[in-house]
Chains A and B, each alone.
Chain A
């Protein structure tokens, strides 16, 4: 439960969303990623750490360099939000159906 909560916090940050968009195109080294942002390398590396911890991105060693790439499966999971949201409303309304029936009987 905690992990999932973190995923959404992770992508609620605009810089982190930009990082995701960036490496969605191709795996990149931390330095190459940092070049796209005005924030310090340190700040970018902190964002990368959070995204890695949430398993939204993963590191891959290629030769001497570390590359970051997207965890596609995880991103798809995040993309199911709206389905879940729809289900929540469906469930609530079904509960309300029950209540309305009960009230009608009482009246």
Chain B
């Protein structure tokens, strides 16, 4: 078995907030790079067999990442992360919203504000994320994008990867 990394997931329904904490076995600058470089984000931001296709990546305060989540059938769901506040190697505050191919935000779904905080200790990096959802519907939509059906396949993919690591 590969060593289990620290992972915490909790939901604060009252405040429509999801808290996620995860430790990575890598130094902070590398994890930061994986979080902010589109070519690396594309490799992990969608659970296989879904994939991410970047249209625009402009990582700076006021800039945004505009990407599509592509299903195995080729259906695209567009999302935009607007970077509101960036403290190099410390934190990123982004406003996530569903949009269309041209980056126009879907007014039917309130956006989600997500704060990512990075900290390093003993060569390992802890990322704490807090996502504040504008409404509970947005959570519903997250799951309707086709992830649910793909989860079984996903877990099997993961099993194979882990098997290969043993």
Residues of A near any B CB (own CB < 8 A): 1, 4-5, 8-9, 11-12, 81-82, 84-101, 103-104
Q: Interface residues of A: mostly helix, strand, loop or mixed?
A: helix
User: Which residue from A1, A82, A95 sits with its C-beta under 8 Å from B139?
Assistant: A82
- Binary contact readout B30-52 vs A (1 if CB under 8 angstroms, 0 otherwise): 11011000001001111110000
Q: Are B44 and A89 in contact (CB under 8 A)?
A: no
B44 touches A85 (CB 8 A): no
User: How many residues of B sit at the interface, in one of the four size bands?
Assistant: 35 or more
Give Cα A80 to B43, complex, Å: 27
Q: Which of A90, A94, A97 has the most C-beta atoms of chain B within 10 angstroms of its own C-beta?
A: A94
- Name 19 extra pairs, CB < 8 A, besides A87-B155, A91-B158, A100-B25: A4-B148, A5-B144, A5-B146, A8-B140, A84-B148, A87-B154, A88-B142, A89-B20, A89-B22, A91-B47, A92-B44, A92-B47, A93-B7, A93-B44, A95-B44, A98-B161, A100-B31, A103-B33, A104-B30
Number of A-B contacts (CB under 8 A): 94
User: Known: A87-B151, A92-B46. Contact between A8 and B143, CB under 8 A?
Assistant: yes
B140: A residues at CB distance < 8 A: 8, 11-12, 81
Q: How far is the CA of A100 from the CA of B18 in the complex (A)?
A: 25
